[in-house]
Amino acid sequence: MPAKRGGERTTRGYWENVWPAAPRMRLPVGADVSTRNLQRLLRSHVTAGARFLEIGCAPGKMLAWVAKVLRADVAGLDYAERGMLFCRSLFEALAIEADLRCEDVFSTTFLPGSFSVVFSAGVIEHFDDPREIVRRHVLLVEPGGKVVITVPNYGGIYGHLQRLFDPENLRHHNSSIMTASAMRALAPDDLVEDIRAYAFGRMSPWILSFDRRWPGGLTRAVQYLFNAIGWGQPCDIRALCPTLVLEMRRRADVS
């Protein structure tokens, strides 16, 4: 019987085309606010020696950063062959050891309960019903381990703007889950505890497709301007947070 998937809004071919060129063979520098936001989030959950899995890891920049900077024992999972080729090239260039598997999370060879932290960014919102893929995250983490899932916050001002600039891209995203309460409702309560769902991050322009409507020069100017504003923002402002986070802990009393 095929694995229950929850109605995907994208195809494998879509993800093969997301990475048209190889990334620079270096760690992310954190110059853009989106990267800095994720790094700040992960610092609060990942400790040295943690067994860390990223689902949807291609092209591997954040996973490499977790390995090098946070000194975790990392593994990566992605079903896009091109993205995983870039990921392997990056890890080889940076001399980082990792267990990188080009597989579907619904049929992965990673064993249940193998990791102390399971993370994904921008994965579950591509399903009409993300509850099953969220459950797959939980099943891969050990009892007492953490699951951290993020999605772009297209439920508010960013969604209104993206609808103007790139409505086609927005159709690949399930915006109905993009509130804290809707994210919380995705947690498998029979398996997890300490569940939190919240908006996170300094203001960021990088989840908006300005280039679909504006010329390149204007797009870059607006992106750099709002990136600078995000850098100077002293605290998260909920209406301007570009990310929604679901975090939870695997219950120790449930196998």
Give the burial string for 124-135 (b: 16+ CB within 10 Å, else e): bbbbebbbbbbb
pLDDT reported for residue 2:
39
Q: What residue ranges define each of the domains in the chain, with the CATH number in brackets?
A: 12-250 (3.40.50.150)
The answer to whether 47 touches 69, Cβ cutoff 8 Å, is no
- What residue spans of 44-185 are helical by DSSP H? 61-68, 81-93, 131-139, 157-165, 167-170, 180-184
Give residues with Cβ within 8 angstroms of 71, minimum separation 6: 48, 49
Please give the chain's pLDDT, 255 residues, in tens. 335 577 777 776 777 677 667 788 999 988 999 999 999 999 999 999 999 999 999 999 999 999 999 999 999 999 999 999 999 999 999 999 999 999 999 999 999 999 999 999 999 999 999 999 999 999 999 999 999 999 999 999 999 999 999 999 999 999 999 999 999 999 999 999 999 999 999 999 999 999 999 999 999 999 999 999 999 999 999 999 999 999 999 999 876
Count CB atoms within 10 A of the CB of residue 13: 8
Rounded Cα distance between 87 and 224, Å, is 27
